[in-house]
Structure 1
Amino acid sequence: MVDPTQIREHLEVVGSDGEHVGRVDHVIGDRIELARLDLVGGFKHHMIPVSWVHHVDGHVHLNVTKDEAKARWTEKHQA
């Protein structure tokens, strides 16, 4: 399991296929909130679980592909 404190704001998130998934906006508990102005995700915040993270170096590398991440991410509901 990756230490969530390694996941910092503005790091690029890439799928296991090396494709751009988004950029980290915040880490909230066991979820990563992706920046909402990212061209891939549109204008909504998308949430992915920290459990999808394979490792962190200069990027956040997922253990799922970009397409899998997009199919399974959830939208953050505004209060």
Structure 2
Amino acid sequence: MSTFNIQDIQKHADVIASCGTKVGTVDHLEGETQLKLTRSEDANGQHHLIPTSWINEVKNNQVVLNKNSEEVYATWQAV
């Protein structure tokens, strides 16, 4: 598992699955354990939460996950 500084995650950064697919955009951090995605890109207009444990690295204003897009879509939490 890569190490990263949670403070390096910027609002509006792209969230990229391990397969290279963009799965969302950062809205903000929910504490230090969850990342809230914007609802503007969701077909149903919902926010989604993903655990920060899914984050592999933060680079070039992107949050790169250790899950592929199918895993993300199947297990993220709608709020």
Provide TM-score, normalisation by structure 2. Answer: 0.88
Aligned partner of 1:54 among 33, 53, 56: 56
Question: Where does the alignment leave 5 or more consecutive residues of structure 2 unmatched?
Answer: none
Give the count of matched residue pairs.
74
Provide TM-score, normalisation by structure 1. Answer: 0.88
2:71 corresponds to: 68
Identity of aligned residues (%): 35
| Cα shift at 1:2 | 2.9
| Cα shift at 1:6 | 1.1
State the distance in 2 between where 1:70 and 1:6 align. Answer: 24
State the distance in 2 between where 1:6 and 1:69 align. Answer: 21
Partner SS, residue 46 of structure 2: coil
Work out whether 1:16 is the aligned partner of 2:18: yes
Runs of 4+ in 1 over 6 A off after TM superposition: none
Q: What do residues 26-52 of structure 1 show as CA deviations (whole Å, max 9, x unaligned)?
A: 1011100000001xx320000000000
Q: What do residues 39-66 of structure 1 show as CA deviations (whole Å, max 9, x unaligned)?
A: xx32000000000000000210000001
| Cα shift at 1:3 | 2.2
* Stretch moving more, 21-30 or 1-10: 1-10
